[in-house]
Amino acid sequence: DQQVKQNSPSLSVQEGRISILNCDYTNSMFDYFLWYKKYPAEGPTFLISISSIKDKNEDGRFTVFLNKSAKHLSLHIVPSQPGDSAVYFCAATNKLIFGTGTLLAVQP
């Protein structure tokens, strides 16, 4: 039973446009969420996080939104760049339960 779900296996956007990656979770006890980015042949690297006491956290081009009532979070990348092409995982603490990942392709 997947507690953290990423229903879009892949996403393709044009350079300069917005990328929106979505994540749903089932456990209302989760209180901390993270996004990781993974390039081929490398381990995941931390991108941005959000605590459940907030509904938005911003870091440069990356913004994470949390909708607790819908048990949904999203990652916005604006503007998207070709170097953003990677697999993105959302995760929920405490045991870092990961989603299945979304492959983002940013077309030049």
Based on CB atoms, which residue is closest to another protein, 29 or 41?
41
Shortest Cβ distance from residue 24 to another protein (Å)?
A: 13
Based on CB atoms, which residue is closest to another protein, 74 or 100?
100
Which residue matches tokens 């077309």? 107
Q: Which residues pair with 74 in a beta bridge?
A: 22, 65
Q: Residue 2: count other Cβ atoms within 10 Å of its Cβ.
A: 12
The vertex-36 CA angle with 60 and 101, nearest 5°, equals 125
Shortest Cβ distance from residue 15 to another protein (Å)?
A: 27
- Residue 18 CA to residue 16 CA, distance in Å, equals 7
Binding-site ranges for another protein (CB under 8 A):
4, 6, 9, 32, 34, 36, 41-46, 49, 89, 91, 93-101
Based on CB atoms, which residue is closest to another protein, 13 or 89?
89
